[in-house]
Amino acid sequence: QSALTQPPSASGSPGQSVTISCTGTSSDVGGYNYVSWFQQFPGKAPKLIIYEVIKRPSGVPDRFSGSKSGNTASLTVSGLQAEDEADYYCSSYAGSNNWVFGTGTKVTVL
């Protein structure tokens, strides 16, 4: 039950793209297509923005996209906007009704 590894921070200028990685093992990220990404603003609850690696809930802009290769999942935010400045967390199903979260990445819009 070790946390998934994310970079502590990422940044980009408005209009640019930023990609956040989420590295786990073959027992979680690599073993299941149940990787989610959550956006969290200070003092607020997390919000689901990507699920099942690549799917977006209704209402989430298509600027947010997900992918996975082996034991590493990624979230890309294209056309970065000031409102995207937040903390981002990945999570993965780890089998037997267990889950694990990433360490979190703070995205700064320069």
Partner 1 sequence: QVRLVESGGGVVQPGGSLRLSCAASGFSFNVRGMDWVRQPPGKGLEWVAFIQFDGSDKRYVDSVKGRFTISRDNSNNTLYLQMNDLRAEDTAVYYCVKDQANSWNFDYWGQGALVTVSS
- Per-residue tokens: 4: 């998934």
Q: Does 70 bind partner 1 (CB under 8 A)?
A: no
Q: Which stretch binds partner 1 (CB under 8 A): 13-21, 61-69, 74-82, 100-108?
A: 100-108
User: Minimal distance in Å, beta carbon 93 to partner 1?
Assistant: 4
The one among 7, 34, 56, 67 contacting partner 1 by CB under 8 A: 34
Question: Which spans of this chain sit near partner 1 (rule: CB under 8 A)?
Answer: 1, 3, 32, 34, 36, 38, 45-48, 51-52, 57, 89, 91, 93, 96-104
